[in-house]
Structure 1
């Protein structure tokens, strides 16, 4: 038994170091080219107001993980994804406007369809604790590009799985699906273009998930729970 102890200790230490290495980290800088005041985050922050960096960030370094920065507190407003790398000057729509930040987790799903030889991935959801999962990945190769700049497209919700039952097609944001008599009814959906966020509560709150262009025959934990839908810009 004694001979196993060092091996167990070494394994535990290796796992601990691996966890540290994978921990997400982002540093926001007050000015371009990583100058001025700075703040380093290793966890999501719903409101930068108390950090002294609200509406001040002009450049960013992502040392690990993938991060979403938003112009409003609570991860609202215009949002943008940043992968690992150095961003000497961030997009003008976010320059001196960042008010919230959170890590993005990618998790490949199992219920996406294949259409035209392309695999439309589904990827997890996000909760109100500032941690979320991106469903569908990026739409282009520009790491600094915001959500969907191309085909605006639509989203069609179906009341049953596999695109069956009653359906409703949306071209714009709906803060409360009750107004369209479709609250807590969606069980599958089709996105013809753009990126859409669907949420379990009205006003884009609760558990939310991002969908990009593709066909989704089931909605997992959001099955029959959707209450709001909006296009991400």
Structure 2
């Protein structure tokens, strides 16, 4: 076996203590490191100081340097990847510094050949909004590779490239469900690179100690919005799970201060936002359901006067390409945008990307949980009902992009049974077909509304018949607490 040429792993900080065993060339000597189960993936580099060829090392054993696709047997530095691997999203630019004169492309998944998309293979800057990506010099995931964590890369030198050619990309994906979600937590550090004094928060905080100045941070659970004013005022900066070694990585200008922070709760509705050119929701309007890098490119006036957030959570930016002051918006109405934000325009905006949300639904009136009833081998006979808590997978549900899916059949969606949709219609599971009968929103009143029939919500049938515990559609009634559900996020 040809071992790595040296065991001089560079700059191993406290967070880099999870490598199991490394070998040096002198007689195959082992170098042991404490194991940290949070670290699943490492980036190894050919040269010291995180330079040279890059290699992605997942959990497992590599008995030969060819097993990790090495150009040779040299590995002289390495670092762990501790970021959030879900809901990957990045924007690639053909110009340096995210220039708008050239072309750009939003990437949400695997692209085997960027040339075929019309974007081309010239990339000089990248904004990784979420997830962890691997970019390849050649099509079909071959050639030199570069690992991209969340953050801004203003030139190809920032990701260790020798030129600006990227021909294929893919996000790193880990198992989507590994048990209860991690505790919500954000760690603030007084110096860059997670050095100096630190403070940790697990809940919304209206006032951070004035004597503490944040220069870097780690978000280890949940997503947060931090403010440069006390009591959730001033400029906002949205921070999703991941590591931010400096203020610029957080999207903050030099000298920015954090005075309060708020945990971003989950939202069970599809993203929809309406922008108006006049106050009080008048004048020309535009409705959006997806990210918009440059509002002006759609031919719409960026001088926005009022906003309605119909569903989802949105992040708006003062300028195009997700630059400038940002604001996090939940479903609400803003009749005067300038009074609300202090900004006279919206240049770009995007839905806030939520992870897959695993939860259970408890009915307020009965205390019972939404469950499946029947055999998955015959979906036509399967029904949805409430029953006692049994801790089974058929009581665990997933909310994703407007659909509610069951843990036991994640390729199936909660759907309305029958072609005639009316009060009294029953519920079942069906293969994901992107039909309106499969889209739902859980609103602030605790009711789950149908997109197909917005006046109908989920209810427990009741009565004395055999199907009294079946869940049906029913007309909204504020007096019926069997229509109210509590989402218990796991």
The alignment's TM-score, normalised by the length of structure 2, stands at: 0.25
The alignment's TM-score, normalised by the length of structure 1, stands at: 0.48
Richer in helix (by share): 1
Structure possessing the higher relative contact order (Cα contacts under 8 Å, 6 or more residues apart): 1
Q: Which has the larger radius of gyration?
A: 2
